Structure formats: C-alpha cells, structure tokens
Amino acid sequence: MTSLPNLPIEGIPSGRTSRETRWQSLLGTDRSDRIYRRILTAFALALPALMLILFGVLFVNALPALKKFGPSFVVTSTWDPVAEVYGAAPMIFGTLASSFLALLIAVPLALSVAIFLSEFAPRWLRQPVAFLVELLAAIPSVVYGTWGVFVLIPFLRAHVVPPLKAVLGWTPFFKGVFYGNSLLAGGIILAIMIVPYIAAVSREVLLAVPTSQREAALAMGATRWEAVRSAVLPYGRAGLIGAIILGLGRALGETMAVTMLIGNRHDIALSLFQPAYTMAAAIANEFSEATTDMYLAALFEVGLILFVLTIVVNAIARILIWRVARGAAIGSKAL
Amino acid sequence: MSRAFGRHLMSRIMTTLIIIFSFTAVLALVLILGNLLIKGASSIDWAFFTKSPVPAGQTGGGVANAIVGTGIVVGLGALIGVPIGVGIGMYLAEYGSGRFGFLVRFIADVLNGTPSIVIGIVAWTFLVKPMGGFSALAGSVALAILMIPMLARTTEEMVRLVPHSLREAALALGYPRWRTSLRIVARTALSGIVTGCLVGIARIAGETAPLLFTALGNLNFSYSITQPMQTLSLQIYVYATGPFDEWHRLAWASALVLMGLVLIISLAARWVTRQRYGSAR
C-alpha cells in the first residue's frame, strides 16, 4: 500500500501530526464550535468543582470539632456523646485493621485470577470467567452484608474459629470469645468484595503488557511461570501495586457490608474475634442519632478524614496505574 | 538436568497454585449467588411484588413500594447524572489533551473511589438539612454524583474508539466541528456510551449508604420525590439487621430481586455493545 506524501498545507489535517495540532487548525473557526466547546468545558468544570464542594462541605461542617479537639481527635479513644468528648482512634484503627486484613486475603486470590485470565487460561475460558469476576463486582454491598450475616458468620463460628483457636489461640490476635460480628467477619467480607476490583484492574494491567515481553522470555527458554515472573509481572509492577492500592481505597470506604458485620463497638481490640468499628460504619450508624451540633461535627470530621484518606490512596493508585497504561480508564467499568 | 527439572516443577507448582486460587475466588461468587437463589427464591411469591410491607411481627406483605421507589430514585439519579457524565466524557475525548483535561481525568478517576457514605452526608447538608426533611430527590442527587465520574471515563474511552478517519471524513465534507462531534462521533460511539450508562445505573441501583440520610426509606407507597422513599437496598438493610425471622426471609427475597435487577441491567449493557461490535471481538 502506498501512502500519499504528507503535505504541510495550512488548515488541512495531516495524518502524521499529533492529535492536538491536527485539530488546532480547525478550532475556533466557527462561532457554534466555540459555543459547543464552552458547553462541554462547563460540564468538565463540574468535576473539579464537585471535588472542592465535597471537601469544603465536610471541612466547614467539621470545623467545630476540628477547633475543639484538634489533633487529639485521631488519638483519643473516648467517644462519649453525653460528655461531648469525641475521639476517632478506634474507628481509624478498625478501618485500617479491617482493610489490611482484607488485603492480606484478597491480594493472592485477586492476582491469581488476573494472572490466570491473562496468561494461563485457555482462550474460550477467558471471557466467561472475566464476566463472572465483573459480576462479582456488581453485587451490591448490602447483599454482601446480608450474605455475611446469615451465611458467613455461622460458617465462621462452626468451621473456622475452632481450628483457628486451637492452633493460634495463644497469640493476641485470636484470643477470647468469638463475637460473630467481629473484625474477622468484617475483614473477610471486605476481602471477598475487593477481590473482583483488584482482579479486574490487574487483568487489564497485565493485558497492557506487550506480548513481545512474554515472547522474549519464552524464546530464552524460560518456563511459563518464569516468563510471568521475570518478564510480565515486573513490567506491570507499578500497575499491579496500583490495583492493590485501589482495592485498599475501596476497602477503606466500604460502608454497608462492614456496618452489618464488624460489630460497631468503639474499642480497640487486637483480637480478630472482637467487635470493632470503621469510620464509614460510624457515620452510617450514628449520623441520624447525632442530636447535638458537636456530635454532628465530630461525625463530619470522621467523614473528612475518610474522604482525604481515600483521595490520597486513590491518587497514589492512579498514578501507579497510569505509569503502565498511560491515561487509560482502566477498571473504571468495574469500579 | 535436575536444574531444568526443578524449574519445570516450579512452573507446574505455581501454575497449579494460581489455578487453585482463581478457582477459590470464583467459587465465592458461585456460593453467594447460590445462597441468594436458594434462600431468595423460596421466599418470593406474588404478594411480594404487589403488596407493601405489613407491620413488624406479622407475616406476609411485600416490597412493591421499594421496587417502585428504586425505579424512581435510580431513574431520577440517572436523569441527572447521565447528561453531566456524558458531557464531561465528550469534553475529555474531544478537548481533553491539555493540562486541564489531564486534571479532570485524574479527578474523575480519584472521585470514582470516594466512599459513597461521604457523598451521602454532603447531599444531606445541601438537600435535606435546609429543606427540613428527607426526600427521594436528595437520594437521586447523591446517586447522580456517584455515577458521574465513572460515566465520564467510560464515555471518553468509547468516544476515543471512533476511528479518526470518520471525523476527518466529516470535517473534510465541511461539517462544523460540533456537528461532527455530535452527529458522527457521538452517534458512532452511541452503543458504547449506552453501555457505560447502563453499567453506571446497575452500580447505583445497589447503593445503600448514600440513601441512608437522603431517601431514608418509607414503609408506604410514595410517588412524591420531595418525600422519603423506600428502595430495595434500604429495605434489605433494615430487614437483614432486624430481629424477626419474617424480616430475614424478606431480606433474602429482596436481595435476590435487587441482584436480579442489577444482573439484568449488566447483561443489557453487554448486549447493547455486542450488537455493534459483536463481529469485531
């Protein structure tokens, strides 16, 4: 096939120049075009505005609590609406503990699914399993919660807790009576919930790894696993870490299923069998009970901490993912 | 040769391990869906779809009001969210190559993971507190905010798939840019955009947290968007955490209906794109 020479004629889009310059010659030529651009820009402005509004509203409403308690808010364990003393340490602890427990369980499973789907699975199996994983991501949080309450907790009580206790009962993490609604139950339901997110994003990251990477490794005589470990995973590492952090962001902000399973107690207990609390669960449970202004402000401050935390976590995740797949909306459909 | 053997053994072991782990993860889904189907299906009868809830302690009753409420709250949320989300997506695809586009894209991706409960309390501050009461409208706005970032990104992706030659052909024929954008580019990407919208709707249909302090829930039929309204997700939350066996039965049934709804919308989303790109895959 022969191609025509790329003549640099003014105003005519040429096939080789970058996208922006090609369009630039056509921009602003027509009044209706300018109006169209302005309308779309107005839409686009809504997004940064939304972010500022979210932050602003949380900040302004949290102001009384911010002023009164200062930094001690995040290290105090007292949560006493009657005495008007609020400290979010147990919730922050519970949020982090349940999320990391979830990651601990979910990461090996999710990465396996991603590697399996992009590297090992026979072609006919890839689409159906990928669809199943997306379906898992589509199950509403409250449905997970219902399943957790009626199926997961009885199952844990009967089949998981006794052996755990027998083997690891001497460690502080598995001490005491199993409460049912506990850090363990909350962490496991979170794990089940974030597996599909991490798997879906990691799979897309791995699919973005050039085939030549694999071919090169296999041509050097690497086994299939060695090709994955030495050529595919390192290439996609930033994106995979991004996917995991994205899952962490999900777990931190997840509300309904955790509220239904974690026990909702303002207490820091090391044992996974004890009830705990998360920031999202505290807002869900207590927001409508918050009768005094300071109570409300304290809950808004919890919301503010949660918002900033997830924004930071998500931003880090996105930067890492973008490093592998530049600017692609990876996982946006699954999330 | 034992070194080569060891390497191949390692490869086998890791492959098997990965398959076992994948199987475990997929098994979780099968288990949840299986439980849902068994426990839910046995609780569903005709009254479930046609009646409103009965007072606590009595048996019978249904969630007709919640099904209608879900339709209204989610529909209104989509009505608000879809134009904005698609508009932002069009901007990103058409003009988003500059610094501002980069910023908007980044914010969309970051907001995509914002805890929905946070959006719920912000919507409460704007639409419940000043108006003096919970309303379905406030719930819809919260859901709309939730779906906008996701929609923006999927729309952008879909519009970017449209071949440049198509734009160039339209522009070469003297079409103004905005008409090219709307009549050629957006129309070509339409099935993809619709898919994105449906996926977004499926996602907000199952949301509970942003509705807790906005739509609140309602035991009776309500069609007024300025009044509290029941949705399936809220109903499940109340029933599953309540003390009565009858409520638990209804929670399973409602969960099955909600899951079915989400599933149907998700499948519809796939079906829409299959129509257009079916042969290309």
Say if residue A4's pLDDT is above 70: no
pLDDT value of position A238: 86
Read off the pLDDT band of A63 (50, 70, 90). very high
CA distance B173 to chain A (A): 12
Say if residue B14 is in the same domain as residue B73: no
CA distance A98 to chain B (A): 16
Give which of A131, A51, A44, A18 is closest to B153, Cα–Cα: A44
| Interatomic CA distance for residues A290 and A283, integer angstroms | 10
A130-139, B38-47, B85-94 — most confident range: B85-94
pTM for the model stands at 0.89
* DSSP one-letter code for A150: I
Residues 313-332 of A with CB under 8 A from B: 313-315, 317-318, 327-329, 332
- Cβ contact (<8 Å) for A141 and B266? no
Sequence-ordered alpha helix ranges (H) in chain B? 2-41, 46-50, 64-95, 99-111, 116-123, 136-160, 164-172, 177-179, 187-188, 190-205, 232-241, 245-277
Contact between B147 and B119 (Cβ < 8 Å): no
Contact between B189 and B158 (Cβ < 8 Å): yes
Percent residues over pLDDT 70 in chain A: 88
Say if residue B173 is in the same domain as residue B155: yes
B109 vs A contacts (CB less than 8 Å) = 314, 318, 329, 332
CA distance B223 to chain A (A): 24
Min mean pLDDT across A6-15, A51-60, A224-233 is at A6-15
B87 vs A contacts (CB less than 8 Å) = 39-40, 43-44
Say if residue B16 is in the same domain as residue B109: no
The model's pLDDT over A256-268, given as tens digits with 9 standing for 90+, comes to 999 999 988 888 8
Say if residue B118 is in the same domain as residue B224: yes
Domain A65-324 has CATH 1.10.3720.10: yes
Q: How many CA atoms lie within 13 A of B218 on its CB side?
A: 27
3-class secondary structure, A14: coil
CATH number at residue B179: 1.10.3720.10
| Interatomic CA distance for residues A237 and A231, integer angstroms | 10
Which backbone phi and psi does A223 adopt, to 5 degrees? -75, 175
Read off the pLDDT band of A330 (50, 70, 90). low
Phi-psi sector, A327: left (phi>0), alpha (psi -120 to 50), beta: left
Average pLDDT of B120-144? 90
Say if residue B33 is in the same domain as residue B131: no
3-class secondary structure, B21: helix
Average pLDDT of A1-20? 44
| Interatomic CA distance for residues B183 and A308, integer angstroms | 41
Read off the pLDDT band of B1 (50, 70, 90). low
CA distance A171 to chain B (A): 27
| Interatomic CA distance for residues B107 and B84, integer angstroms | 15
pLDDT value of position B97: 85
| Interatomic CA distance for residues A303 and A59, integer angstroms | 9
A73-77, A267-271, A299-303 — most confident range: A299-303
| Interatomic CA distance for residues B149 and A310, integer angstroms | 15
Say if residue B132's pLDDT is above 90: no
pLDDT value of position B52: 79
The model's pLDDT over B180-213, given as tens digits with 9 standing for 90+, comes to 888 888 888 998 899 899 989 998 999 999 999 9
Say if residue A332's pLDDT is above 70: no
Burial of B223 (0-12, 13-18, 19+ CB in 10 A): exposed
Say if residue B272 is in the same domain as residue B184: yes
Joined tokens for residue B103: 């910023």
Average pLDDT of A173-179? 85
pLDDT value of position A184: 93
Read off the pLDDT band of A112 (50, 70, 90). very high
Give which of B258, B121, B235, B34 is closest to A255, Cα–Cα: B121
3-class secondary structure, B44: coil
pLDDT value of position B280: 37
Say if residue B109 is in the same domain as residue B15: no
Residues 249-308 of A with CB under 8 A from B: 249-250, 252-256, 260, 280, 283-284, 287-288, 299-300, 303, 306-307
A125 vs B contacts (CB less than 8 Å) = none
Contact between B148 and A54 (Cβ < 8 Å): no
pLDDT value of position B150: 92
| Interatomic CA distance for residues B156 and B150, integer angstroms | 10
3-class secondary structure, B208: coil
B205 vs A contacts (CB less than 8 Å) = 140
pLDDT value of position B43: 81
| Interatomic CA distance for residues A252 and A271, integer angstroms | 20
Say if residue B110's pLDDT is above 50: yes
| Interatomic CA distance for residues A267 and A93, integer angstroms | 9
Say if residue A335's pLDDT is above 50: no
Q: For chain B, how many structural domains are there in total? A: 2
The model's pLDDT over A275-297, given as tens digits with 9 standing for 90+, comes to 999 999 999 999 988 889 899 99
pLDDT value of position A255: 93
| Interatomic CA distance for residues B40 and A19, integer angstroms | 53
Say if residue A103's pLDDT is above 90: yes
Whether the CB of A63 is below 8 Å from some CB of chain B: the reply is no
Alpha-carbon dihedral of residues A63, A64, A65, A68, nearest 10 degrees? 120
3-class secondary structure, B26: helix
Average pLDDT of chain A?
Answer: 86
Say if residue B105 is in the same domain as residue B242: yes
Give which of B140, B120, B130, B136 is closest to B79, Cα–Cα: B140
- Residue pairs between chains A and B whose CB atoms are closer than 8 Å: 289
Contact between B152 and B121 (Cβ < 8 Å): no
Contact between A121 and A206 (Cβ < 8 Å): no
Beta strands in A132-227 (DSSP E): none
Min mean pLDDT across A104-108, A217-221, B231-235, B272-276 is at B272-276
| Interatomic CA distance for residues B51 and B31, integer angstroms | 30
Read off the pLDDT band of B215 (50, 70, 90). confident
- Of B220 and B200, the structure prediction assigns the larger pLDDT to B200
Which residues on adjacent β-strands are paired with residue A212?
none
Which run of H or of E encompasses A197?
A: helix A183-207
The answer for residues whose C-beta is within 8 angstroms of residue A175's C-beta and 6 or more apart is A169, A270, A271, A273
ipTM of predicted assembly, 2 dp: 0.91
CA distance A225 to chain B (A): 5
Domain enclosing residue B247, as ranges? 49-280
Q: Which residue of A has its CA nearest to B34?
A: A147
The model's pLDDT over A115-138, given as tens digits with 9 standing for 90+, comes to 999 988 888 988 888 888 888 888
Whether the CB of B42 is below 8 Å from some CB of chain A: the reply is no
pLDDT value of position A23: 54
3-class secondary structure, B238: helix
Say if residue B60's pLDDT is above 80: no
pLDDT value of position B277: 47
